[in-house]
């Protein structure tokens, strides 16, 4: 089975100065949401496409039963805003988790799909991050989306989706300066809580292939 996902890359609050952490940016100095997301998108200037093998390992808890899983696949990106994750025969217990990833979107789609309020800043991972919160412009099972974007590199560090059914899906990217000048992630941590199940997983990215043709069929909806 395959699963289509608009790009990956979870968490939020108002700027607070913590001991040993970078000070939050004064509100008067904050750029607006459109500027922040445009700067995030511009990090990929010159990147026309990529594909990368992924390995997702974790566990799904249904009722009182916890089931480990491991699945592989390939993630694709085609400029300006196409992204897909094709999973290779995901275990049945993990299919819901894989399907949830299809709601993530990209910086290119978030401004289009969400009404995003005034950003705030907060210490995040030892430095300052912009925190953006949006609500869907159209009917959606998503209630809100919260993004943490580095105030230095403008890389998306975390994203949290809250759903109308009380569920949540969070994803945190591990870059460590990332891959190449595009700061592509080396790994990610996923946590999901939904009425029917909960789960967590680690996502490992393999070797990226950059700026090579990708068949258009890769991005077609999968059923």
Return the CATH number at 103: 2.50.20.10
Q: What pLDDT is recorded for position 9?
A: 35
Average pLDDT over residues 4-23: 38
Q: What pLDDT is recorded for position 178?
A: 57
Average pLDDT over residues 94-121: 80
Q: What pLDDT is recorded for position 179?
A: 65
Closest alpha carbon to 203 in 179, 187, 181, 180: 187
Phi, psi of 147 (to 5 degrees): -120, 140
Other Cβ atoms closer than 10 A to 23 = 12
Q: What pLDDT is recorded for position 209?
A: 95
Residue 46 counted as domain residue: yes
3-state SS assignment for residue 133: strand
Please enumerate in sequence order all residues whose Cβ is within 8 A of that of 69, keeping only pairs 6 or more positions apart, or say none.
56, 57, 58, 59, 60, 90, 91, 93, 94, 201
Q: What pLDDT is recorded for position 147?
A: 95
For the cut 70, the answer to whether the pLDDT of residue 4 exceeds it is no
Q: How many domains, in total, are found in the chain?
A: 1
Residues in the chain: 223
Residue 209 counted as domain residue: yes
Residue with tokens 């299809």: 102
For the cut 60, the answer to whether the pLDDT of residue 193 exceeds it is yes
Residue 2 counted as domain residue: no
What is the domain range of residue 170?
27-219
Residue 20 counted as domain residue: no
Share of the chain above pLDDT 90, in %: 48
Q: What pLDDT is recorded for position 14?
A: 29
Give the span between the Cα atoms of 42 and 39, in whole angstroms.
Answer: 5
Residue 203 counted as domain residue: yes
């Amino acid at each position: 089975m395959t699963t289509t996902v608009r790009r990956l890359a979870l968490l939020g609050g108002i700027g607070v100065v913590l001991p040993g952490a970078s000070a939050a940016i004064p509100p008067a100095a904050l750029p607006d949401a459109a500027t922040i997301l445009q700067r995030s998108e511009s990090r990929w200037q010159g990147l026309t496409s990529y594909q990368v093998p992924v390995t997702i390992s974790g566990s799904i808890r249904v009722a009182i039963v916890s089931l480990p899983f491991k699945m592989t696949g390939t993630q694709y990106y085609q400029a300006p805003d196409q992204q897909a994750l094709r999973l290779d025969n995901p275990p049945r217990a993990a299919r819901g988790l894989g399907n949830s990833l299809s709601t993530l979107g990209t910086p290119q789609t978030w401004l289009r799909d969400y009404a995003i309020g005034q950003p705030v800043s907060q210490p995040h991972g030892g430095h300052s991050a912009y925190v953006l919160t949006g609500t869907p412009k159209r009917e959606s099972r998503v209630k809100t989306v919260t993004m943490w974007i580095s105030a230095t590199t403008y890389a998306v560090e975390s994203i949290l989706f809250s759903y109308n059914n009380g569920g949540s899906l969070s994803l945190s990217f591990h870059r460590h300066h990332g891959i190449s000048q595009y700061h592509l992630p080396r790994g990610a941590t996923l946590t999901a809580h939904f009425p029917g199940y909960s789960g967590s997983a680690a996502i490992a990215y393999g070797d990226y292939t950059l700026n090579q043709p990708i068949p258009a069929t890769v991005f077609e909806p999968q059923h």
